[in-house]
Structure 1
Amino acid sequence: MFSKKQMLGLLLLPLATSAVAVQQVDNGTYVIRNKFTGKVLDLVNGSAADGTNIIQYRQTNASNQHWQVSYLGNGNYRITNLAGGGAAEVYDWDTSDGANISQWSANGLAIQNWQLSDQGDGTFKVINAATGKAMEVYNWDSSDGANVSQWTDNGLDIQRWAFESLDTGASYHWPLSGDLGTHDPTAMAENGTWYEFQTGPGIYRKVSYDGGLTWQPLPSVLPNGLGWWQNYVPDQQGIDVWAPDVKAYNGKVWLYYAVSTFGSKVSAIGLLSAESLASDNWQDEGLVINTTTASNYNAIDPDLVIDRDNKPWLVLGSWSSGIKLTRLNSSTMKPTGSLYSLAARSGGIEAPSITYRNGYYYLFVSTGVCCAGTDSTYQIRYGRSTSITGPYLDKNGVDMMNGGGSLLDGGNARWVGPGGEDMVGNNVIVRHAYDADDNGNAKLLISKLNWDASGWPRY
């Protein structure tokens, strides 16, 4: 049986999915400021209780004024308070003018979905998908503590809100929950649903239906492994697969992965394809590239890159002579042509990921030692180049082939050894780190990636 609220949510759901599905605001953490009053959205006392009131208040930079904005697809967003952990909704499904805006535990219903309408002045109208009414400060009250409510859309400044992005790295991770155990994550969103793949038997994977915040497990992609793996990696035991990478290209989804053993260069990169992530009809495309004891690099940690001309490349490798890059055939998605060297570093370098933005290719790598719990020394570093084949220089102009690499994420007291990173577009970064508050278990971290005025990445 459905509750009254659930029934109303189902009845109103068509309204929630009728908007033009264009993402107006990137996933990330924001201060949300009213244009008329200049005050920001605030959760009373940062309480976790369902029904806690949402108000406006002068900016204090406290976490109860920080809101995680997550795109759900079909024009809908969830707005979650970082302190309370609940999603903004119209209280008790009230459709009247003046109805209160509060927080409630995320439930996936339309009353917690909001649609953003760009007003062309750096602000947005915030429309509830169930009621069709706009968020505003009640009665044009400019005082601290003034109530935030809904009202019939009128286009006035009291209903306009600016979304001001916060640094969202080590201090502002997305508030994730559910199944978070992770090594070497890769993620992709498809029609509002997020999918994550990671190191593990048969390629572990997870799914999120709320914009990448709450994760639940799915069956492994290859629960029985593939017979040809041991032709190239005879010492592999079981069906453990390393560091997958998932991306869409040319109307298909491509899933690269590596098979190897610790401390060995006897490795192979394989490839799967599917019509879509939702279809789950994975096809074995076989071997992509392999290395042997005679090789001077290691065929692991693959990452598919699409260049500015829509041509595919594969960046890969670790340790030995460092990070490599090769062109791919656009049909077979397998190597063709030369192997380029991009980065090298004593003490370990691996997990490359490349993204293109505003005339530059940005190479992210993990340096140091992985997989030692809170003794791990992983760090995420980067450089950039105007050419996909390099040279990649860090912020000090040092070539990454000569040990260069500016620090993006060195972790903190709780999150130790961040690495195994992957880019989702050029605005979101996923990676793992070891949780010092939970016996050093490796967990998934997701953050908005910001860019400074000179075009360098930062949290």
Structure 2
Amino acid sequence: MKKVKKISMLFVIVCLLNIQLTASAAFWNVTGEKMIHDPSIIKEGNSWYVFGTGEAGKNGIRVLKSDNGTNWYTTPVIFPTALSWWKTYVPNHETNQWAPDIQYYNGRYWLYYSVSSFGSNTSLIGLLSTHSINSGQWRDDGLVVRSTSSSNFNAIDGDLVIDKDGNPWLSYGSFWSGIKLTRLDKNTMKPTGSVYSIVSRPNIPNNPVEAPSITYKDGYYYLFVSFDRCCQGVNSTYKIAYGRSKNITGPYLDKNGVSMMNGGGTILDAGNDRWKGPGHQDVYNNNVIVRHAYDAENNGLPTLLINDLNWDSQGWPTY
């Protein structure tokens, strides 16, 4: 009897430990270099990479690397020198490049990035590609889409998504008239055909929505966006919202059935006492979500946060 009780107690302890490990594993314990803004994540072989907006006043796109997904270190920036053709479209662009998005498709890694200046919609989205991130050899694939001061949209925050039939699309946008979506040519990975509007907050001044990220799962396209304002340290009001649609072009509805073209969006993460203004999220492989937040315990430093992404019984995303 005593032996049975000991075995039973041991079983209970093991179960409790498993529950604890499962719960704690949802939030990745990121160490090493954690400073990042507007992160996009991908894995090549055994290595993880996060691409993010470059440091203010410095050239380039910031790149972090990890050999295990938790301990991160810096690698050389992309664009240590600005490309000359950017000034043709954005004469007064910032030194650093913004909001990269990295995806693998048809045997290459495609990196979309933004060139702009804060508060302006004279902007462009450019494209690089490579057969291997680790090689460090990037091909300049040029201009993808641009906007001007007379445009009703802002050509930044590009996000590549592959639909259920294997076709590439690009979503993008920040403030102005909201989030756009266009199909891409499979060979050039540049726009072809119509531009669709998929998110707008018409009743909120300046339409504060940006950073789209779309993923397909079990018959639905899930659209994640960032509401409100980033880039103000611990005073940032950024938050992550989402909706879903049977069709990639929408309409995207939140959990209450409200269209994201009419201000809808269910909040996934609005931050907490330490992590302020979480946003500019990127979903990888339907089970990992990355974003930045401002660390109230470290002078508001924009910090890399990674979580396992889970899905509830109704098919909605959750941490």
Category of TM-score, reference length = shorter chain:
over 0.9
C-alpha separation in 1, matches of 2:213 and 2:275:
21
Q: Is the 8 A contact 2:94 2:116 kept in 1?
A: no
Which position in structure 2 is the counterpart of 1:371?
Answer: 231
Q: Does 1:208 align with 2:66?
A: yes
Q: Does 1:395 align with 2:251?
A: no
- Aligned-pair distance for 1:425? 1.3
State the one-letter code of the partner of 2:12. K
Give 2:195's match in structure 1, choosing from 334, 339, 344.
339
Q: Does 1:326 align with 2:283?
A: no
Aligned residues: 305
**CA shift digits 1:93-151 (9 cap, x unpaired):** xxxxxxxxxxxxxxxxxxxxxxxxxxxxxxxxxxxxxxxxxxxxxxxxxxxxxxxxxxx
SS of 2:110's partner is: strand
Which position in structure 1 is the counterpart of 2:16?
Answer: 59
C-alpha separation in 2, matches of 1:173 and 1:351:
22
Give 2:74's match in structure 1, choosing from 186, 210, 217.
217
State the one-letter code of the partner of 1:343. V
SS of 1:59's partner is: helix
- Aligned-pair distance for 1:222? 1.2
**CA shift digits 1:329-357 (9 cap, x unpaired):** 00000000000000011250000000000
Match runs of 1:32-181 below 5 Å = 38-40=11-13, 56=14, 59=16, 66-67=20-21, 165-166=22-23, 173-181=27-35
- Aligned-pair distance for 1:431? 0.2
C-alpha separation in 1, matches of 2:177 and 2:109:
30
Match runs of 1:305-320 below 5 Å = 305-320=161-176
**CA shift digits 1:386-425 (9 cap, x unpaired):** 0000000000000000000001001000000000111111
| Residues 361, 167 of structure 1: alpha-carbon distance in 2 compared, 3 angstrom cutoff | farther
| Residues 327, 38 of structure 1: alpha-carbon distance in 2 compared, 3 angstrom cutoff | same
TM-score normalised by L of structure 2 = 0.92
Q: Is the 8 A contact 1:244 1:257 kept in 2?
A: yes
Structure 2, unmatched stretches of 5+, are 1-6
Which position in structure 2 is the counterpart of 1:21?
Answer: none
State the one-letter code of the partner of 1:229. W
Q: Does 1:407 align with 2:267?
A: yes
State the one-letter code of the partner of 2:16. Q
Q: Is the 8 A contact 1:167 1:450 kept in 2?
A: no
| Residues 292, 213 of structure 1: alpha-carbon distance in 2 compared, 3 angstrom cutoff | same
Give 2:294's match in structure 1, choosing from 434, 439, 443.
434
- Aligned-pair distance for 1:277? 1.1
**CA shift digits 1:63-89 (9 cap, x unpaired):** xx733xxxxxxxxxxxxxxxxxxxxxx
Match runs of 1:247-266 below 5 Å = 247-266=103-122
- Aligned-pair distance for 1:167? 7.7
State the one-letter code of the partner of 1:440. G
C-alpha separation in 2, matches of 1:176 and 1:399:
35
CA RMSD of aligned residues (A): 1.8
Q: Is the 8 A contact 2:94 2:115 kept in 1?
A: no
Match runs of 1:173-192 below 5 Å = 173-192=27-46
Q: Is the 8 A contact 2:120 2:149 kept in 1?
A: yes
SS of 2:272's partner is: coil
C-alpha separation in 2, matches of 1:314 and 1:215:
28
Q: Is the 8 A contact 2:172 2:212 kept in 1?
A: yes
C-alpha separation in 2, matches of 1:166 and 1:311:
36
C-alpha separation in 2, matches of 1:208 and 1:181:
14
Q: Is the 8 A contact 1:429 1:449 kept in 2?
A: yes
- Aligned-pair distance for 1:236? 1.3
Q: Is the 8 A contact 2:86 2:115 kept in 1?
A: yes
Q: Is the 8 A contact 1:297 1:322 kept in 2?
A: yes
Range with greater deviation from structure 2 (276-285 or 427-436): 276-285
Runs of 4+ in 1 over 6 A off after TM superposition: none
C-alpha separation in 1, matches of 2:235 and 2:84:
35
SS of 2:11's partner is: coil
| Residues 342, 167 of structure 1: alpha-carbon distance in 2 compared, 3 angstrom cutoff | farther
**CA shift digits 1:150-186 (9 cap, x unpaired):** xxxxxxxxxxxxxxx4386xxx521000110010000
Q: Does 1:198 align with 2:52?
A: yes
Which position in structure 2 is the counterpart of 1:418?
Answer: 278
Q: Is the 8 A contact 1:381 1:409 kept in 2?
A: yes
Which position in structure 2 is the counterpart of 1:358?
Answer: 218
Percent of counterpart pairs with the same letter?
A: 55
Which position in structure 2 is the counterpart of 1:288?
Answer: 144
C-alpha separation in 1, matches of 2:146 and 2:12:
58
